[in-house]
Structure 1
């Protein structure tokens, strides 16, 4: 199976430029109710994943920074405390499964590290649940036939 089966394309994903401000990130994350969001550079390449924790640590560790001042802080200047790796669109499905177990979503990039979308843990779990349900239904039918 190909990773593309699970992908939410970039145009349907929420991401931010690493040149966006903390204020923009806070507002976008609140609006979408996300706890993390991928960051891309001006060339469209995946750079990092910004988390709520990153924003909170920045507020805590920047003397004098208030919510009103968050419009002055660029996301490229916010330290990232987690290294959420991206997966290549051409990678094996095993690579995706290894990452999705530790990340709520996995950014997907092309051969030039251009961000093409995300795979959510929910998409993978839903697929696996449906697959298991179909297999269980087949086993139940087989059991009825053999009884």
Structure 2
């Protein structure tokens, strides 16, 4: 099974351009209650994931930076402390699972590195849970033992 089965398309998720400001990121993340969102450049390429932690570290480590003047800081100026590695649309479920161990979502790009959506860890866990349940039912049916 490949990534396309789990893909949530770009049009249905929250993402930000790296030209957005810290304030825009903070407000959008608060509104949607997200702790991380994908970042894209002006060409639509995936360039990373911005997290609440990244924003807090920037606020802490920038003298004189307050919430009010976060509108002057572009996301391209905020260091990303965690790199969420993307997969291509033709990747297999195994590629997703290894990333989902440390990422809430896995960014998906096309063969030109254009961001096309994400796969959330939740859908991967639900899929694996269904597979395990199916195997348990099959084993029970074969042995007659519940």
TM over 0.5: yes
Q: Which has the higher mean CA deviation after the structures are superposed, 106-115 or 126-135? A: 126-135
TM-score (norm 1): 0.94
Shift of 1:94: 2.2
- Structure 1 counterpart of 2:11: 11
- Structure 2 counterpart of 1:40: 40
Show structure 2 runs of 5+ residues with no match: none
Query: Which 4+ residue blocks in structure 1 deviate beyond 3 angstroms?
Result: none
The alignment yields a C-alpha RMSD, in angstroms, of 1.5
Taking the TM superposition and a 5 Å limit, the aligned residue runs for 1:1-147 are 1-144=1-144
TM-score (norm 2): 0.94
Aligned length: 146
Q: Which has the higher mean CA deviation after the structures are superposed, 117-126 or 132-141? A: 132-141
Shift of 1:132: 1.0
Partner Cα separation in structure 1 for residue 119 and residue 21 of structure 2: 25
Find the residue that maps to 1:85 and give its secondary structure: coil
Find the residue that maps to 1:42 and give its secondary structure: coil
